Structure 1
């Protein structure tokens, strides 16, 4: 994976994990790691990081080796901000960087929304399908 300002067109895609899915992910990650009680952010980051690595090794979407950066905006209160016209219905990043994952509160407030910047939409579709299968949604 490559981190940087791309020459290609970047698409930001989102995965939303509701409260029940986040708890399922926490239990799954606790059984896989030395961290016995991972936070929501630790668990979702671990799951997505593992899946991203696996997909990158499998289908070699990225031309250059590199890294994927995770950032947590959890508890920033982004959906509570009122700039004079009411609370926002949708919050997202304006990041031009590829291979960046931003975790934030889901709009409902009890889950996690992962915003993933990718160049190849097929990669995101595989990631989404892979996560859904793991969590029993397909």
Structure 2
């Protein structure tokens, strides 16, 4: 889209990339940290590695800090959309925050983790039913 918005195909690609990476993190070693994906103006999806050294004041959450990091990239036109994935260990779900100038939803993805194999044990993530809700857009 020429206005910096995101179309359904781009939205699907960004969401799928983010969710596949989240599942792979859990299946690999059971640990998780927030993941950031961005859809660049060129149409390419990039995963960002973030080392946040800013002082923590305790008022901002992880999503707030990551949104603040992405905001200048959106304002400059470098990115057209972003996905921030967090893990809610207490209720075994991912929250995929999808943001673009014309789209802003939080998508909850419940999952369960099973273990397969007798000798070589492997984690296997099974996804539940997704649910989406409108959300405040603090990036675009």
TM-score higher than 0.5 here? Answer: no
More strand by share: 2
Q: Which has the higher contact order (CA 8 A, sep 6+)?
A: 1
TM-score (norm 2): 0.32
